[in-house]
Structure 1
Amino acid sequence: MTSSSRVKSTTTLLSSGETFKKFGEFQVPRMLYLSKGCGCEVVLFLWFCCYLLLTAGQITEPTEGDLPEELGQLSVLNRIQIDENNITGSIPLSFANLNRTEHIHMNNNSLSGQILPELFQLGSLVHLLLDNNNFTGYLPPEFSEMPSLRILQLDNNDFGGNSIPESYGNISKLSKLSLRNCNLQGPIPDFSRIPHLAYLDLSFNQLNESIPTNKLSDNITTIDLSNNKLTGTIPSSFSGLPRLQKLSFANNSLSGYVPSTIWQDRSLNGTERLILDMQNNQLTIISGTTNLPPNVTLLLEGNPVCTNNNTLVQFCGPEIDNGLNGNYSVNCPSQECPSPYEYTVECFCVAPLVVHYRLKSPGFSDFRTYERTFESFLTDGLNVDINQLFIKSFAWEEGPRLRMNLKLFPECINNKSYCFFSTSEVIRIRNLFRDWGILSSDLFGPYELLDFIVGPYRDVISPSPSSWISKGALVGIVLGAIACAITLSAIVSILILRIRLRDYGALSRQRNASRISVKIDGVRSFDYNEMALASNNFSESAQIGEGGYGKVYKGHLPDGTVVAIKRAQEGSLQGEREFLTEIELLSRLHHRNLLSLIGYCDQGGEQMLVYEYMPNGALRNHLSANSKEPLSFSMRLKIALGSAKGLLYLHTEANPPIFHRDVKASNILLDSRYTAKVADFGLSRLAPVPDIEGNVPGHVSTVVKGTPGYLDPEYFLTYKLTDKSDVYSLGVVFLELVTGRPPIFHGENIIRHVYVAYQSGGISLVVDKRIESYPSEYAEKFLTLALKCCKDEPDERPKMSEVARELEYICSMLPEYDTKGAEYDTSNYSGTVCSSQPSSSTIKTPFISEDVSGSDLVSGGMPTIRPR
């Protein structure tokens, strides 16, 4: 790499040596320059730019050591790039906080341990590259819930013979999935539901059973299932894939015939090629014609068909050509251009820029098909004419990655004999390459600049890194402002595009709004136009929430009823039968502590649920430091009791019974009187039903779903969902009610936090400081119950009926007091309390009363909970 290419932008964090562990010491850094040998640890510390990149190729020595836990506290990170270093250890749990991060490139390191399931919380993540590390354990099923994930690359890790989660077939925006050489077993999931899938590599594993028969996306270019233990026949569904470049089933145990429709139904132009690698199977015949077009390569070596049919000898030898080197010839005067100029085809002498460039995760196998597309993509990003770019050579590297040597020529105008770039143009082009100013695409994936050779311009552009650094913060601030301006421009462009797409989508839905939806007794069926009218055409001003399912809007029906409209986003849509079955089930659930379903919409490609509107929102909002008025202690007990009763109804009264699976403070809503309403329950959590002899299994096996901090550890490890899983999650909510803290706060689990205080007798240290007054003995009883719910062993947790009964007991013993008075008045006690109002700031005197013995559930010894 030339010295000029090492000039770092304000979008870069570089590290080596001792400074690597210091990343998390800064609260909101946008850029740091940390390099061994610069003479100082922190040269630039800017607050302007919106990227943070840890880039191996731009530091003088490889970065080593573990990833610091504090790195996850930098919640504004957009990009983490520390590939090709010697990073060891596991991914810190704090990475689950990086909810603005779009790119995590930590491939080619020595990271180990279990890949964090909590990474599924990163709703903005687009690229996750963790290939070529030492990860073990299993593939987190939760990754299927990542709404923006487009590239998932985990090659060359050891997942210990575990299977590929079936849920990976639901990653709706995925364009590339690469699990090459991961020691995976079991069947291949059905990936036919992923509309944009372009690249699928599951090679060099232990996958068995047969190949799924459903047809993959029309965008697919590469399917590599080689070197597995697949059996059965080759499905005909691989026919008619318009962009297919490579289909490899080599080194399996497939039998039967090779469908000739795979190449007969594929229309190829002059630059396109199709490679079909079927070597070393048990294939015995080719169905249909064997007259292949010249740009189709069929490899059959090692199959019985090669010994049974002499006419197929042409297909029975290995031959794959992965790339070509480009070159151009000219017929110009014998006198050569003076160095460093060179002739163009038009015989102009020009001074080119040479760029060494690598595609880190391309979505194709044959670059020649997309060479012209790439030229257009790159020159559009650089804002130069397509004729100014020449791809001198390209070659595939291990990964697979694609390395290219490019030349950029200046425009020759006014018939000049010698042409060159202006200094500002060289700097502009270099900065676009260096600062990731060329937007990535699903097809070409992320890229990296390997070298930028300025040639004749070396003396007129920016000085070397050392002299650039010496200019200190002044130059840094200027570059930071430039980066910020670029980022703001990109944001504005994206917003405009989103508005246009939204308007187009609304128009399309209105055109389809005439479809009649099915009627279900007990709930109202709405059409799309009614929902659009109620929500002001789903305007942003009407939006009151957003989750993994989709967005939630506040709506007003013509009769004046205020409702909450939950609108499914792309990727969350169910099959029509499944959706209507869930509606029919929900329509039968009626309890004062469950959120009531009013109606639904299943029309014009839309699925919406219409619920009663909760004016006081989610419980989590009332426990945050930003809540306007704190909840009183009795109010918190009332919410706890209502939540327990709602879940008890689901467990015991619903037909069939339902396990919630995602109990958390944001799924407990509050009406105008602060009555708790449990929300977000449905078909996917049905409890086991009795067998023919009337025996009820103790659990149901299911893909782990839930929210980190609330997940039952037994369910997380065994996939066995029981009623005690909901008890555990509700216990965490109880701890939130007492402390006001979220389940994970500054990397510490709330259970450990409360347990340590409980052991030391310092309960007052963990009680929410916004509760100005509370009866300490009842707070202790509430905490004891919560900790019992959160025991690691399910058998040691109480049943939901016992939880509800204990809360009723605590409420019955809690004296009533006048919230407008100056103190708790025990003389006015009149029975069960758990007030419906927030606490008053005028209460001054803490409650003092005689000892209350308590019920059997909480009057025992201190609970034993292993801290986490």
Structure 2
Amino acid sequence: MSGAKIFFCWAAVAILSCLFVQFAGAQITDPSEVTALKTIRNSLIDPFNKLKNWDSGDPCTSNWTGIICYNSTLSDGYLHIQELQLLKRNLSGNLSPELGRLSYMKILDFMWNNISGSIPKEIGNITSLELMLLNGNRLSGPLPEELGYFPNLNRIQIDQNQISGPIPKSFAYLNKTQHFHMNNNSISGQIPRELSRLPELLHFLLDNNNLTGHLPSEFSRLPKLLILQVDNNNFSGSTIPPSYGSMTQLLKLSLRNCNLQGAVPDLSQIHQLGYLDLSGNRLTGSIPSNRLSNNITTIDLSNNSLNGSIPSNFSGLPNLQRLSLENNNLSGPVPSTVWENVTLTGNKSLTLDFQNNGLSNIANALNPPANVTLLLAGNPVCANASQLNIVEFCQPQNVQAPGSLTNSKTSCNPCSTDSDFEINPSSPYPCFCAAPLKVGYRLKSPGLSDFRPYVYDFEEYLTSGLRLSLSQLYIASFLWEEGPRLRMYLKLFPNNTNLFTASEVRRIRSMFTGWEIPDSDIFGPYELLNFTLGSYESVISNPSKSNLSTGAMVGIVLGAIAGAATLSAVITMLILRRHSKYRLVPKKRSLSKIPVKIDGVKDFTFEEMALATNNFSDSTQVGQGGYGKVYRGVLADGTVVAIKRAQQGSLQGSKEFFTEIELLSRLHHRNLVSLIGYCDEEDEQMLVYEFMANGTLRDHLSGSEGVRISWIVCSLFV
């Protein structure tokens, strides 16, 4: 073959390498996942055209809305979908079974849309899934058994839908799941006792459903359970298991309006208990006299049939905010010591609701501090309110949770409206204007009744979790909602600059959407209601973080170049082989007539190759091509290798063979197997590679148009 022909062939390969790189850049997401995404979109109704860019380009390189990909290709050479983030996009329609084909996905987020229909069982195929976030839709039908076999699931949020039917017993296999949020649905049947086997369960929220049967006493075995909240179900005839008193790690127990009967269990051994609500049941007997945890903020035993007197153990609880005992059959004196040893400074307050009982006298004069609200209306003692000087405590009242903040206002000139600038009230610099990120945020199961004393603690908690400074957070408002849940409107400002960087916006958003902010004992689990970008919409091109890092793109390009170089080497080898029949190759060649020393490439003997392959046994053969056969071998040091053995008609001259070895030794890429060594003796030529167990090179190159065109063009120049 002439030098001109070789030159033209290599030039053609170089051109095709560029084409191959362009092809890789345009189509690098797994084609099956691209097809699945298009089917998923077709099952959705998108009235505001939020997913319009799903019609063109590649999901990972064209920044499809809500699509976040892995930063590098996997062993199959493709990028894969890591997150599907479609929070509050005004979407309706149905969830497509094709979601199950996104088999590498970690986060599935359709929160706060209007999606209806059932949850496809195919979602259970996504074994990599860590967060399943479907709350705030109109999903209906039963929960598929297949959702119980996620080996990596951390959080399942299907609350605020219309899910019906029982809880699958397969949920007992969710061994890594910490958060079960299934409240506000129509789930029926009993709580499976099998769920008591869950080793990592922290939060179990099943309030506002149609559950029946008994509360599982086995739940006391859950080693890490912090919140048990099953309010507003119908456990008629069931009692509160006494074993719940041994759940020493529990932070919140809320069993409101569950039609429970029997006695109030002794919960004094739960040393971290901060919130107790057993109201609206049919509990009888007296209130246990043992002292509850010093962490307790809320005790609600109202609307039961409890009798006896109010025990003295409610006195001196340092963090108590509300003690609700109204609408029971309690008798005896009005306790006058509950507020003793409680520090009630600043915004701290204490509400004692004893209305509508049988309290008949006062042991000592009632002189509570100004920030203590004492309610006695509906008790016999109020018949003599004037004589006892307790008229102010005998006025009927409905207790509302305190819910406003007093923020100081300063006189400042308006900020520029060009970039949605606002004055940061928390900034140490007066009248400092910046563009905030606006976050709708809700505490789903807080362990407190009055937020005001905890504002600073919350600010420290959230900014620490987000790795921001205190001056960057401003709580614009908060509102107590039914649950009780605490809804907030937050503004996050840049740190003493006018604008966040795009990378910082992505980081903060990822912290919220990935639930990377650590949980708090007092504030409990949170939910993201919305994340408004405002001025930053154009900065980061879409609300999802950049899909592909520079390193990933470089890797793709290098992979394409390395692939093209490999093809070039193979083509050259074939060209030389084609013309070798015109040369006279000696029947016997001495060992390595042209000696070479290449770093990292070993010269093996024929005997070593024979031993590694059991004398080239058919049982070790793993492939065959025009060049020869490929064997799986095990070297003396235990290394598993692939040995490509040339057949007699394919032998090259030593010079050409070592040229090929030198070229192959220079190719290094994560998607290419490495050359380990060679053998050139006994009329044998062999190449020794690291062993790749996931198929042949042909398997991985099949279907690549760039490869086929390269072979065609080069053949034209030969």
The alpha-carbon deviation at position 260 of structure 1 amounts to 1.4
Which residue among 328, 331, 343 is the counterpart of 1:252? 328
CA distance in 2, matches of 1:309, 1:403: 39
- After TM superposition, list the pairs within 5 Å mapping 1:534-553 onto structure 2: none
SS in 2 for 1:262: coil
Q: Write the distance in 2 (CA, Å) between the matches of 1:210 and 1:282.
A: 14
- The separation in 1 between residues aligned to 2:99 and 2:192, in whole angstroms, is 20
Answer yes or no: is 1:219 the counterpart of 2:273: no
The answer to whether the Cα contact below 8 Å between 1:12 and 1:53 also exists between their aligned partners in 2 is: no
What is the DSSP-based 3-state SS (H/G/I as helix, E as strand, rest coil) of the residue aligned with 1:53? strand
Partner of 2:581: none
1:7 aligns with 2:66: yes
Q: Give the CA deviation at 1:72.
A: 1.2
SS at match of 2:141: strand
| Unmatched runs of 5 consecutive residues or more in structure 1 | 414-418, 479-868
Give the direction of change, closer, same or farther, for the CA distance of 1:312–1:8 in structure 2 (3 Å limit). farther
Indicate how the Cα distance of structure 1 residues 11 and 373 shifts in structure 2: closer, same or farther if over 3 A, else same. farther
Read off the aligned partner of 1:123 and give its amino acid letter. P
Change beyond 3 A, Cα 1:366–1:341 = same
2:342 & 2:506 partners in 1: Cα distance? 45
Name 2:78's counterpart in structure 1: none
Counterpart of 2:500 (choices 421, 428, 432) is 421
Letter in 1 for 2:503: S
Counterpart-to-counterpart distance in 2, 1:122 and 1:11 = 26
1:263 and 1:234 mapped to 2: Cα distance? 14
Q: What does 1:170-189 correspond to in 2, within 5 Å?
A: 170-189=246-265
Asked if residue 449 in structure 1 is aligned to residue 528 in structure 2, the reply is yes
Aligned positions of 1:536-615 closer than 5 A: none
| Mapped partners of 1:132, 1:281: distance in 2 | 28
Deviation sequence 1:847-868 (CA, Å, 0-9, x none) = xxxxxxxxxxxxxxxxxxxxxx
Q: Give the whole-Å Cα distance in 1 for the aligned partners of 2:84 and 2:333.
A: 54
Which letter does structure 2 place at the counterpart of 1:162? S
Partner of 1:496: none
Output the amino acid matched with 1:263.
W
Q: Give, as a single letter, the amino acid of the residue that structure 2 aligns with 1:127.
A: H
- The amino acid across from 1:439 in the alignment is P
SS in 1 for 2:313: helix
**Distance of 1:33 and 1:334 partners within structure 2:** 41
Superposed displacement of residue 334, structure 1: 4.6
Tell me the secondary structure at the aligned position of residue 230 of structure 1: strand
Q: Does 1:163 align with 2:163?
A: no
Corresponding position: 1:343 with 2:450: no
| Aligned partner (choices 370, 374, 378) of residue 454 of structure 2 | 370
1:434 paired with 2:513, answer yes
Corresponding residue SS for 1:177: strand
The 3 A distance-change label for structure 1 pair 20 and 84 is farther
Q: What is the one-letter code of the residue matched to 1:103?
A: H
Aligned residue among 94, 107, 130 for 2:170 = 94
Task: Name the aligned partner's letter for residue 429 of structure 1.
Answer: I
Q: In structure 2, what is the equivalent of residue 652 of structure 1?
A: none
Cα deviation, residue 412, structure 1: 2.1
Q: How does 1:714-725 map to 2 (within 5 A)?
A: none
CA contact (8 A) 2:150 2:174 kept: yes
In the other structure, the counterpart of 1:278 is: 354
- Specify the SS of the correspondent of 1:180: coil
Q: Deviation of residue 350 (structure 1)?
A: 1.7
- For 1:461, the equivalent position in structure 2 comes to 540
Q: Which amino acid in the other structure matches residue 453 of structure 1?
A: T
In angstroms, what is the RMSD of aligned CA positions?
3.4
CA contact (8 A) 1:301 1:315 kept: yes
1:338 to partner: Cα distance: 3.2
Question: Kindly tell me: are residues 256 and 22 of structure 1, through their superposed partners in 2, closer, same or farther at Cα, counting changes over 3 Å?
Answer: farther
Structure having the higher Rg: 2
- Deviation of residue 337 (structure 1)? 4.0
**Once the two structures are superposed, what CA deviation does each residue of 1:224-254 show, in whole Å capped at 9, x if it has no partner?**
0000011110000011111111100011110
Q: Which digits, 9 at most, give the CA deviation of each residue in 1:11-70, with x for residues without a partner?
A: 669899765778889999644578979xxx99999989662323224xxx5222111112
Residue 442 of structure 1: how far off its partner (Å):
1.8
2:153 alignment counterpart: 77
From 384, 407, 411, the equivalent of 1:332 is 411
Cα distance change, pair 364–263 in 1 and its aligned pair in 2 (3 A): same
**Larger proportion of strand:** 2
- Please say if residues 16 and 63 of structure 1, whose CA atoms lie closer than 8 Å, have aligned partners that are also in contact: no
Contact 1:218 1:242 in 2 (8 A): yes
Structure 2 SS opposite 1:181: coil
Please point out which of 312, 322, 336 is paired with 2:390.
312
1:332 deviates by: 3.5
Deviations 1:91-139 (A, max 9, x none): 1111111122111111111100011011000011011011110000010
For the 8 Å contact 1:164–1:189, the answer to whether it is kept is: yes
Count of residues in Structure 1 that have an aligned counterpart in Structure 2:
462
TM-score by length of 2: 0.59
Q: Which amino acid aligns with 2:434?
A: V
User: Residue 124 of structure 2 contacts residue 147 of structure 2 at CA under 8 Å; is this kept in 1?
Assistant: no
Residue pairs, 1:468-479, within 5 angstroms: none
* 1:176 and 1:198 in contact (8 A); partners too: yes
2:141 to 65, 68, 71: 65
Distance of 1:319 and 1:224 partners within structure 2: 15
Residues 190 and 48 (structure 1), Cα distance of their counterparts in 2 relative to 1, 3 Å cut: same
SS at match of 1:449: strand
Residue of structure 2 equivalent to 1:291: 367
The TM-score, its normalising length taken from structure 1, stands at 0.50
Q: Aligned in 2, Cα 1:29/1:295: closer, same or farther, shift over 3 Å?
A: same
Establish whether residue 240 from structure 1 lines up as the match of residue 320 from structure 2. Answer: no
Shift of 1:304: 1.2
> Would the aligned equivalents of 1:11 and 1:50 in 2 still touch at CA under 8 Å?
no
The answer to whether 1:358 aligns with 2:424 is no
2:401 maps to which of 316, 322, 326: 322
* Percent of pairs with identical residues: 52
The AA in structure 1 aligned to 2:431 is: C
3-state SS of paired residue (1:379): helix
Aligned partner of 2:488 in structure 1 is 404
Counterpart for residue 116 of structure 1? 192
Are 2:474 and 1:390 aligned? yes
Unmatched runs of 5 consecutive residues or more in structure 2: 1-45, 52-63, 69-81, 553-718
- CA contact 2:66–2:84 (8 Å) conserved in 1: no
Are the equivalent residues in 2 in contact too, given 1:56–1:83 (CA < 8 A)?
Answer: yes
Distance of 2:108 and 2:533 partners within structure 1: 26
